[in-house]
Amino acid sequence: GSEVLYGVQSGNSVKISANQLKTFANTISAPLQGTFSSTATQTVTNAANSIALSYDTQTDIYGLTLTAGTKIGFTSTGVFGLSFSAICHNPVSSNAKWANVFIKKNGNLVDNSSTIINLTKDNPTAVVCTFVFDVTDIADTYELYLAAQTAGIQVLATAAQAAVPGVSPAMPACPSIIVAVCQIR
């Protein structure tokens, strides 16, 4: 048997089956969304080359894809917001050095997408940015890249910390980078 639900529509009592309700719910298009993060520290090994930032964790993914651990893809076109949080770190040089996080679309630089961070030695710095862009072709992929003034600059992951009574509370691990993507329209 099929369950019958009763409701009111325009002042009149109506009956609808659970199967009809499921069919209707499946026609509603939810916005594409997802969160990607990395539990690994990622390091620039050569200042002459940028590195594609990679992700090893995906959460709440709907309509997005991840290819080769770095390329975020889309199953429909639209306007999207991409926000990221990264912990940039200079463990190598006592002189201040810069790092630069930027976006590539289909392997090509995206204009005006650079975020430059000034880093002093052993002073991890949180970077938070949001970009809005149009996806006009579902074959498009977007990647975040890290470049640096010197080799050894990192996006830094930290392990969870157990509570130390009287000294510090327990704290969860901190990913090196978290990227949230959400369809705006």
User: What is the tens place of the pLDDT at every residue in 24-68?
Assistant: 655 556 889 999 999 999 999 999 999 999 999 999 999 999 999
Instruction: Give yes or no for residue 80 having a pLDDT over 90.
Output: yes
What single-letter amino acid sits at 75? T
Contact 89/153 with Cβ under 8 angstroms?
Answer: yes
Burial of 140 (0-12, 13-18, 19+ CB in 10 A): middle
Backbone phi, psi, residue 75, to 5°:
-100, 0
Chain centroid, CA 35 distance in Å:
5
Residue 40's pLDDT is what?
A: 98
**Average per-residue pLDDT in the chain?**
91
Residue 15's pLDDT is what?
A: 72
Instruction: Name the least confident of 16-20, 35-39, 138-142.
Output: 16-20
Enter the tokens of residue 14: 């109506």
3-state SS class at 176: coil
How far apart CA 90 and CA 74 sit, in angstroms, is 34
Residue 7's pLDDT is what?
A: 64
Burial of 112 (0-12, 13-18, 19+ CB in 10 A): exposed
* Residue 17 banded pLDDT, cuts 50, 70, 90: confident
Instruction: Name the least confident of 19-23, 60-64, 115-119.
Output: 19-23
For residue 79, give Cα distances in angstroms to 61, 130, 135. Answer: 17, 13, 6
Enter the tokens of residue 184: 């705006």
How far apart CA 36 and CA 58 sit, in angstroms, is 5
Taking the model in full, what pTM does it have? 0.82
Instruction: Give yes or no for residue 184 having a pLDDT over 60.
Output: yes
Instruction: Give yes or no for residue 1 having a pLDDT over 90.
Output: no
